Amino acid sequence: MSFSVETRSGLLERFLQYVQIDTGSCDDSPSAPSTERQLDLSRLLYNQLKELGIKDVFLSEFGVVYATIESNVDKPCPTIGFCAHVDTAPDVPTGPVRPRVIENYDGSDIVLGDSGKTIAFSENSELAHAVGKTIIVTDGTTLLGGDDKTGVAVMMEMAKFLLDNPDFPHGTIRLCFSVDEEIGRGADHIELDRFKCDFAYTLDSEGTNGIDVETFSADMAIVTFHGVNIHPSIGKGKLVNAIKGVSAFIDLLPKDGVSPETTENREPFVHPVDISGNCEKTVVRLILRAFDTPQLAVFADWLKELAAKAIEPFPGMKADVETVFQYRNMGDGLRERPEAVDRACNALAKLGRTAIRQIVRGGTDGSRLTEMGLPTPNLTAGSHNPHAVVEWANLDEMLETLEWSLEIVRE
């Protein structure tokens, strides 16, 4: 499939428009969406979908946008969904984003404005595939937001393409633009009776030609140490300091393994992310991650043993371990219902490209959606170096994702 110059420039224009809207989400905020600014993009998408002529467009109170493109063929075919998130990760400044377009990239190091930051060719192997292509970078002071505005822009351009080309045969297609994915709440407000499909795809992975078919399974462990507080002046024989318990506990964690800084590929880990407390009570939170779901229970038992060992030198101290469910490896659900992965791989083969099946050391909206009964693998959409000021996006890879998505829905 070759796209018109208008499709190429339209996709770029959309992407540039979307990244300049600051949509950072916020972990500390209890509201939904977590930040008002996400609604700026949700409302824009809602209006643009309406302007394209789509009748069934809905903006929920949580900021999630849904749209349905009706089937134009007579035969029964599956309803296929696409999902991308409007929010960006609050790890680095999320705005104001000042994107810079580099046409026909020449393979040199990319200096980001006068920020002092550089994307070095030698340290970014993916840049080798971008020589001669169009890439988009920042001025080095914010993230770009290609995670996931590449996906958002591709889905919007797909909608435009299908409405402009009524002869292109397809079944019913549902689009969903979610919020708060970056803070782990993406699937919380996706209503499956609105996003009603047989299977779906998130467009939220880096690079091109990749399909994420497995994610981590994830729990959070909350380990609480209970001490006894009393004025230090009369503390002898009475005071039990919970801070010393948590310190001993952390010290028992291995230094050479089972952590994100010492593992890769399919290796699981336990990762302390937060400590708070005082003499009386100290709480440490750890995230537990494994591709093999039963490993999470093994980790929880292990943490109980470590906590018991940590308090041994401190008579009177108590410790308890609670685990909180987070999400599950979508590989389990996708193996049970393989049609989504099969269809995507076959579609890419028809385009003369080979799908690379990938695993993600994290979660996606698709982890939760698959668990909720909607098989949802994750496709690459052209972003690179996410959550960083050295983030960049590849327009040619975004076009490849558009081509792939259209081939997936073609009947």
**CA–CA gap between residue 193 and residue 80 (Å, rounded):** 14
Query: Is there a catalytic annotation at residue 87?
Result: yes
310, HSE (Cβ side, Cα atoms, 13 Å)? 28
Q: Using only C-alpha atoms, what is the Rg of the chain?
A: 24
Those residues with Cβ within 8 angstroms of residue 41's Cβ, 6 or more apart along the chain or in another chain: 18, 21, 23, 86, 152, 177
**CA–CA gap between residue 84 and residue 370 (Å, rounded):** 15
CB 18 within 8 A of CB 147: no
CB 355 within 8 A of CB 349: yes
Q: Does residue 407 bind Zn ion (CB under 5 A)?
A: no
Closer of 138 and 323 to Zn ion (Cβ): 138
3-state secondary structure of 372: coil
DSSP 245: H
Binding-site size for Zn ion (CB under 5 A) equals 3
Closer of 148 and 403 to Zn ion (Cβ): 148
Q: Rounded to 5 degrees, what angle do the CA atoms 257, 258, 262 make? A: 50
To the nearest whole angstrom, how small is the minimum distance from the Cβ of residue 348 to Zn ion?
21
Q: Does residue 206 bind Zn ion (CB under 5 A)?
A: no
Q: Does residue 212 bind Zn ion (CB under 5 A)?
A: no
Beta partners for 274?
A: 285
Q: Does residue 147 bind Zn ion (CB under 5 A)?
A: yes
To the nearest whole angstrom, how small is the minimum distance from the Cβ of residue 69 to Zn ion?
23
To the nearest whole angstrom, how small is the minimum distance from the Cβ of residue 89 to Zn ion?
8
* Length of the chain in terms of residues written: 411
Closer of 333 and 366 to Zn ion (Cβ): 366
Site string for Zn ion, 85-124 (x = CB under 5 A): ----------------------------------------
Residue 235: both structure tokens together: 């503390």
Query: Is there a catalytic annotation at residue 181?
Result: yes
Q: Does residue 400 bind Zn ion (CB under 5 A)?
A: no
Closer of 148 and 219 to Zn ion (Cβ): 148
To the nearest whole angstrom, how small is the minimum distance from the Cβ of residue 378 to Zn ion?
9
Closer of 85 and 226 to Zn ion (Cβ): 85
Closer of 184 and 227 to Zn ion (Cβ): 184
Q: Does residue 148 bind Zn ion (CB under 5 A)?
A: yes
CB 126 within 8 A of CB 384: yes
To the nearest whole angstrom, how small is the minimum distance from the Cβ of residue 383 to Zn ion?
8
To the nearest whole angstrom, how small is the minimum distance from the Cβ of residue 87 to Zn ion?
9
Task: Please tell me which residue in 22, 147, 181, 407 is annotated as part of the active site.
Answer: 181
Q: Does residue 365 bind Zn ion (CB under 5 A)?
A: no
Helix ranges (DSSP H) in 179-293: 242-252
> Which of 196-204, 287-295, 326-334, 336-344 is the region at the interface with Zn ion (rule: CB under 5 A)?
196-204
Closer of 239 and 388 to Zn ion (Cβ): 388
Task: Please tell me which residue in 22, 87, 182, 206 is annotated as part of the active site.
Answer: 87
> Which of 31-39, 146-154, 274-282, 329-337 is the region at the interface with Zn ion (rule: CB under 5 A)?
146-154
- From candidates 204, 214, 397, 407, binder to Zn ion by CB under 5 A: 204
To the nearest whole angstrom, how small is the minimum distance from the Cβ of residue 181 to Zn ion?
6
CB 7 within 8 A of CB 22: no
To the nearest whole angstrom, how small is the minimum distance from the Cβ of residue 287 to Zn ion?
18
Closer of 149 and 170 to Zn ion (Cβ): 149
Backbone angles phi, psi at 225, to 5 degrees: -105, 125
Q: Does residue 157 bind Zn ion (CB under 5 A)?
A: no
Longest dimension (CA), the chain: 85
Q: Is the dihedral of CA 257, 262, 267, 269 positive or negative?
A: positive
Q: Is the dihedral of CA 48, 1, 340, 368 positive or negative?
A: negative
Residue 411: both structure tokens together: 């009947």
> Which of 52-60, 142-150, 216-224, 345-353 is the region at the interface with Zn ion (rule: CB under 5 A)?
142-150
60, HSE (Cβ side, Cα atoms, 13 Å)? 20
Give catalytic residues, as residue numbers.
87, 181
Binding stretches for Zn ion (CB under 5 A):
147-148, 204
